[in-house]
Amino acid sequence: MPLRSFTRKVLQRCNIPYSSYLDRLEILDIYSARHRRLKSQLVLLYNFICGAAHFPNIQSYVRLSNSARRPMTLICVRPDIKDFFSYTIPLWNSVTCNTHQFLSPGEFLSLLNHPINGL
């Protein structure tokens, strides 16, 4: 059952009047399915970059930029191929654009706790 339907039914059973999907997410203190999916994709990419997860020949798909001002900026080696990297790297770069040092895993997760739905 999709999250939208589930949250609506949960609140109906609790006798809470109808509210919009975003209001229901706020009432239940949860993130949207899209937010959680994007966050999972970014965490997986972070793990590939840091070597915490193995991806053979990662250099054939993505590389770190040489920028000292934005050390977390990634460059997609093959942007014309529609795959995980060509989709996730633009999102990664927009989320990390204001970081001036490479973030630790905890700092990166804290960065992702802010809403990323607008991206």
d(CA 31, CA 113) in angstroms, rounded, equals 9
The string of pLDDT tens digits covering residues 17-31 is 888 988 988 888 888
User: Looking at residues 22-46, what average pLDDT do you find?
Assistant: 91
The 10s digit of each residue's pLDDT in 70-118 is 999 999 999 899 999 999 999 999 999 888 999 999 999 999 887 664 5
Residue 13 has pLDDT above 70, yes or no: yes
Q: Are 35 and 117 in contact (CB under 8 A)?
A: yes
Burial of 44 (0-12, 13-18, 19+ CB in 10 A): middle
- Domain ranges for the chain, please list them: 1-30, 33-112
CA 75, 80, 81, 84: dihedral to nearest 10 degrees? 40
The pTM for the full model equals 0.81
Q: Identify the burial level of 45 via C-beta atoms within 10 angstroms of its C-beta, where 0-12 means exposed, 13-18 middle and 19 or more buried.
A: buried
